[in-house]
Amino acid sequence: MKDYDKGWSYTLFHRYPHLYLPFMVSMIPHTYKEVDSICRIFELYGIGKNARILDFSCGIGRHSIELAKRKFNVVGYDPSAFYIRFANSLSKHQKSRRKHEVEFFCGHPLRISTSFTGHKKFDGAIMMGCLGFHDDEFDKLVLKNIGEVLRAGSILIIELENRDWTIRNFQSYTHNQFDDLEIFEKWEFNSRSSISESVSKFYKKNKVGLRLLLNLRTHIRLYSLHEIVKTLENTGWSYLNSFDNILELTSLRHQSQDMIIVARKNTP
């Protein structure tokens, strides 16, 4: 925990959050269908309307806000003050369309249990693409912390990249561009550690060309299904099910790019 502010995710999401904002905004059109699937999973495992839901590492709050429209009581939690301000602004803009209130909190990813001391426990939680930014021990601590604020029997939904797919479809170079921003990334995969490492360069587009804004080394710990299941079982959760992707909810396969994992909090 003491090294959190030295990691690449702290640099990007705290010091340069505006550089990742275009990625988050570009995903807003997919939100409605993604939350459709989240609601289907909750319903399948007995989490009904009016349940109290935690959106961990909520980013700009797009899932939180849409879940509130579906009559869930939602709390979005994120380490980035920049994204929490954006989420509150987005929520205020859509207030007339919500069925329930949504609250947003900014806090350290490993202090969530203390952030909600004395609060009513959650009935369910979602973690959309936020595991693997540090190391295995950090992920275990995150899962344990989330478990401390959820009631026994509650449901956790996790979205993450499938290591098996990445190995078969590895891209050494990626390029993304937005209105005034271009991102070039050079990737390498360490099969021993299951860590995908990159040199990511963020450029601002201007009339004469590109101006470098940030040169950042990043890494993401990728999981196979059996690894994330073992991690869950070691942190107080029971594996229930897995799906191909959040839009389709078809059965998970080796060739699935993403994994949607469903787990239940164990009874003490």
Contact 126, 157 (CB under 8 A): yes
* Residues pairing with 157 in the sheet: 126, 262
Confidence grade of residue 178 (pLDDT, cut at 50, 70, 90): very high
Neighbours of 120 (CB within 10 A): 10
Mean pLDDT value across residues 24-42 = 96
When the pLDDT of each residue in the chain is averaged and rounded to a whole number, the result is: 92
| Percent of the chain residues topping a pLDDT of 90 | 81
Fold of 4-161+224-265: Rossmann fold (3.40.50)
Alpha-carbon distances, residue 11 vs 64, 68, 99, 145, 176 (angstroms): 24, 31, 36, 23, 19
Matching fold, domains 4-161+224-265 and 165-220: no
Task: Identify the pLDDT of residue 255.
Answer: 83
The CATH architecture of the domain made up of 165-220 is Single Sheet (2.20)
For 69-96, what is each residue's pLDDT tens digit?
999 999 999 999 999 999 999 998 776 5
Q: How far is residue 13's CA from residue 141's CA, in Å, rounded to a whole number?
A: 20
Mean pLDDT of 61-67: 96
Would you say 258 and 246 are in contact if contact means Cβ atoms under 8 Å apart? Answer: yes
Q: Is the CB of residue 54 less than 8 Å from the CB of residue 265?
A: no
Could you tell me which residues come within 8 angstroms of residue 45 by beta carbon, excluding any fewer than 6 positions away? 155, 240, 262, 264
Give every strand in the sheet of 173-177, ordered side by side. Answer: 173-177, 181-190, 195-206, 209-221
Q: Per-residue pLDDT averaged across 180-209, rounded?
A: 94
Whole-number pLDDT of residue 118: 79
Residue 98 has pLDDT above 60, yes or no: no
Phi/psi for 53 (5° steps) reads -120, 135
C-alpha 192/C-alpha 189 separation (Å) is 9
Query: How many Å apart are CA 167 and CA 38, to the nearest integer?
Result: 27
For 13, phi and psi rounded to 5 degrees?
Answer: -85, -15
Per-residue tokens: 141: 């601590």
CA neighbor of 69 nearest in space, from 49, 98, 96: 98
**Which amino acid makes up residue 27?**
M
Are 226 and 213 spatial neighbours (Cβ–Cβ below 8 Å)?
no
Annotated domain spans of the chain: 4-161+224-265, 165-220
